[in-house]
Structure 1
Amino acid sequence: MSFPHCEVVHRRRIFTAARLLFLSALLSPGVSTAARADESDPDAQQQLKPIIVSAQKRPAPEQRTPIAMSVYGNAFLDSTGVSDLKALATVAPDLNYAQVQTVVPVLTIRGISSRDTTEIGDPSVVVVTDGSSNNRPYALSGTLYDLDHISVLRGPQGTLYGRNAVGGIVDIVTAKPSRTLEGYASVDLGNYATRNLEAMVNVPVNDVLQFRVAAISRRHDGYLNNAPQANGDDENTRSGRLTVALQPTSHLRMLFTAQQTTLQGVGPVSLDIPYLCDANGHLSHDKPPFPADPRTFTYATPQSQSVDDTNLRWNVAYDFEGVDFSYTGSYDNLTFRHSADSSPSFLEPVSYRQNEFPKTLNQEVRASSLGDGPWSWQAGVSYFRESSSLYSANESPFDGGVYQPTLAFAYGIRTTSTAAFGQSSYRVTDKIRLTAGLRVTRDEKSRDGEYFFANSNEPPFVYTHVPQDDCGSWSKPTVHLAAEYAPTSAMMNYVRYDTGYKSGGFSSSGSYAPETLQGIEIGTKSLWDSQGVQINASVFDYDYSGQQIAQLVPFADGRVGTRIVNAGRTHIYGADADIRALIDPVGLLTLSVAWLHARFTDFVVDDGSGQNVQLAGNAPPQSPAFTVGLGLEHAWMMAAGPIVGRVDAKFQSGQHFTIYNYADDYQKPYLSADLSATWIPNRKNVELMAYVRNVTNQRVFTAAEEYSFDDSYRYAFAAPRTFGVKATYFW
Structure 2
Amino acid sequence: MNIRFLITTGLCGIAAMLANPAFAAEGAADESSSADDIIVTANKREQSANKVGITITALGGEELARRQISSLSDVANAVPGLVFSPSTANTPIFTLRGVGFNEKALGVYPAVSVYLDQVPLPFPVLASHAAFDLERIEVLKGPQGTLFGQNATGGAINYIAAKPTDEWMGSGSLGYGRFNRVELNGVVSGPVADGVGIRLAVQGVHSGDWQQSATRDDTLGKEEYLAGRLLVDLNMSGPIRAQLNLNGWIDKSDPQALQYFLLLPNPPGVNEAVQNFPFANLNPRSADWSTGKYRPRADRRFGQAALRVDGDLTSDLTITSLTSFIAFKQEQTADGDGMSLALLNNSPDDGTIDSFTQELRIANNPGGRLNWLVGANLEKSKVKQRQDIYFPDGSVNNPGNLNIFQNANQTRQDFSTLAAFVSGDYAIADRLTLKAGIRYTSSEIKANLCGMDAGDGRINELFTLLGNLLSGTVVPPLQPGDCYSLNEKNIPGEPFIDRLKEDNVSWRGGLDFQVNPDLLLYGNISRGYKAGSYPTIAAATTVQLSPARQEHVTAYEAGFKARIIDRTLQLNGAAFYYDYGDKQVLGKVLDPIFGLLDKLINVPKSRIIGAELEASWTPSDNISVRAGGTYINSRVQDYSGYDVLGEIQDFAGVALPFTPKWTYSLDAEYHTPDLISGGEFFVGATLTGKSAQDAVFAGDRVSLPDREGAKVVDDLAHPFHIDAYATVDGRIGYNADSGWRAMAYVKNAFNTYYIANVIPGADNSARFAGRPVTYGVEVGFDF
Query: Shorter-chain TM-score: which interval?
Result: 0.7 to 0.9
Q: What is the letter of the counterpart of residue 296 of structure 1?
A: S
Who is 1:471 aligned against?
499
The unaligned stretches of length 5 or more in structure 1 are 1-46, 282-287, 399-403
SS of 1:56 mapped into structure 2: coil
Who is 2:781 aligned against?
729
Question: Deviation string for 1:480-529 (max 9, x for gaps)?
Answer: 10111112111110100000111223444123221011111101111112
Q: Comparing 651-660 with 229-238, which one deviates more in the overlay?
A: 229-238
Structure-2 separation of matches of 1:601 and 1:264: 43
Structure-2 separation of matches of 1:84 and 1:367: 35
Structure-1 separation of matches of 2:73 and 2:340: 31
Q: What is the letter of the counterpart of residue 304 of structure 1?
A: R
Who is 1:714 aligned against?
766
Structure-2 separation of matches of 1:229 and 1:163: 49
- CA 1:198–1:265: 2 relative to 1, 3 Å: same
Who is 1:104 aligned against?
91
Contact 1:552-1:707 at 8 Å conserved across structures: no
Please state how far the C-alpha of 1:298 moved relative to its aligned partner.
2.6
- Of residues 578, 582, 586 in structure 2, which corresponds to 1:546? 582
Contact 2:212-2:219 at 8 Å conserved across structures: yes
1:504 paired with 2:532, answer yes
Who is 1:392 aligned against?
387
- CA 1:449–1:459: 2 relative to 1, 3 Å: closer
- CA 1:298–1:252: 2 relative to 1, 3 Å: same
- CA 1:204–1:119: 2 relative to 1, 3 Å: closer
Structure-2 separation of matches of 1:136 and 1:230: 33
Please state how far the C-alpha of 1:679 moved relative to its aligned partner.
0.5
Structure-1 separation of matches of 2:560 and 2:344: 54
Aligned positions of 1:25-40 closer than 5 A: none
Q: What is the letter of the counterpart of residue 696 of structure 2?
A: T
Structure-2 separation of matches of 1:482 and 1:604: 35
1:297 paired with 2:275, answer no
1:236 paired with 2:224, answer yes
1:456 paired with 2:508, answer no
SS of 1:547 mapped into structure 2: strand
Identity of matched residues, %: 21
1:621 paired with 2:674, answer no
Aligned positions of 1:271-350 closer than 5 A: 271-276=259-264, 291-293=281-283, 295-300=285-290, 301-321=294-314, 322-342=316-336, 346=340, 348=342
Who is 1:652 aligned against?
690
Who is 1:666 aligned against?
721
Who is 2:3 aligned against?
none
- CA 1:547–1:372: 2 relative to 1, 3 Å: same
Who is 1:20 aligned against?
none
Structure-2 separation of matches of 1:619 and 1:679: 46
Contact 1:234-1:268 at 8 Å conserved across structures: no
Aligned positions of 1:372-391 closer than 5 A: 372-391=367-386
Structure-2 separation of matches of 1:469 and 1:523: 47
Aligned positions of 1:68-467 closer than 5 A: 68-101=55-88, 103-226=90-213, 231-276=219-264, 291-293=281-283, 295-300=285-290, 301-321=294-314, 322-342=316-336, 346=340, 348=342, 351-352=345-346, 353-395=348-390, 406-453=406-453, 456=458, 465-466=483-484, 467=495
SS of 1:159 mapped into structure 2: helix
Structure-1 separation of matches of 2:341 and 2:534: 35
- CA 1:128–1:513: 2 relative to 1, 3 Å: same
Who wins on radius of gyration, i.e. which is larger?
A: 2
Q: Comparing 205-214 with 518-527, which one deviates more in the overlay?
A: 205-214
Structure-2 separation of matches of 1:186 and 1:132: 28
Question: Deviation string for 1:353-396 (max 9, x for gaps)?
Answer: 21110101111000001142211110000001111222111147
- CA 1:349–1:581: 2 relative to 1, 3 Å: closer
Count of aligned residue pairs for this structure pair: 670
SS of 1:76 mapped into structure 2: helix
Structure-1 separation of matches of 2:121 and 2:103: 16
Who is 1:591 aligned against?
627
1:676 paired with 2:731, answer yes
Structure-2 separation of matches of 1:128 and 1:75: 20
Please state how far the C-alpha of 1:294 moved relative to its aligned partner.
5.4
Structure-2 separation of matches of 1:142 and 1:60: 27
Contact 1:664-1:713 at 8 Å conserved across structures: no
Question: Deviation string for 1:410-434 (max 9, x for gaps)?
Answer: 2321011100000121101110010
Please state how far the C-alpha of 1:554 moved relative to its aligned partner.
4.3
Structure-2 separation of matches of 1:75 and 1:482: 33
Q: What is the letter of the counterpart of residue 498 of structure 2?
A: D
CA RMSD of aligned residues (A): 2.6
Who is 2:563 aligned against?
527
Contact 1:257-1:313 at 8 Å conserved across structures: yes
- Of residues 566, 587, 607 in structure 2, which corresponds to 1:571? 607
Please state how far the C-alpha of 1:118 moved relative to its aligned partner.
3.4
Q: What is the letter of the counterpart of residue 408 of structure 1?
A: A
Structure-1 separation of matches of 2:684 and 2:761: 40
Q: What is the letter of the counterpart of residue 685 of structure 1?
A: G
- CA 1:441–1:539: 2 relative to 1, 3 Å: same
Who is 2:43 aligned against?
56
SS of 1:78 mapped into structure 2: helix
Structure-1 separation of matches of 2:335 and 2:690: 31
Please state how far the C-alpha of 1:610 moved relative to its aligned partner.
4.8
Question: Deviation string for 1:319-340 (max 9, x for gaps)?
Answer: 1221110001211100012211
SS of 1:49 mapped into structure 2: coil
Structure-2 separation of matches of 1:273 and 1:71: 38
SS of 1:513 mapped into structure 2: coil
Contact 1:91-1:649 at 8 Å conserved across structures: no
SS of 1:588 mapped into structure 2: strand
Please state how far the C-alpha of 1:344 moved relative to its aligned partner.
9.2
Structure-2 separation of matches of 1:435 and 1:545: 24
Q: What is the letter of the counterpart of residue 354 of structure 2?
A: K
- CA 1:411–1:623: 2 relative to 1, 3 Å: closer
Please state how far the C-alpha of 1:397 moved relative to its aligned partner.
9.1
SS of 2:62 mapped into structure 1: helix
- CA 1:559–1:728: 2 relative to 1, 3 Å: same
Please state how far the C-alpha of 1:92 moved relative to its aligned partner.
2.2
Who is 1:10 aligned against?
none
Structure-2 separation of matches of 1:476 and 1:345: 45
- CA 1:205–1:343: 2 relative to 1, 3 Å: closer
SS of 1:217 mapped into structure 2: strand
TM-score by length of 2: 0.81
Contact 2:258-2:338 at 8 Å conserved across structures: no
Please state how far the C-alpha of 1:142 moved relative to its aligned partner.
2.5
Please state how far the C-alpha of 1:612 moved relative to its aligned partner.
2.2
Structure-2 separation of matches of 1:67 and 1:231: 46
Structure-2 separation of matches of 1:184 and 1:452: 52
Structure-1 separation of matches of 2:221 and 2:655: 29
Q: What is the letter of the counterpart of residue 238 of structure 1?
A: L
Structure-2 separation of matches of 1:60 and 1:93: 23
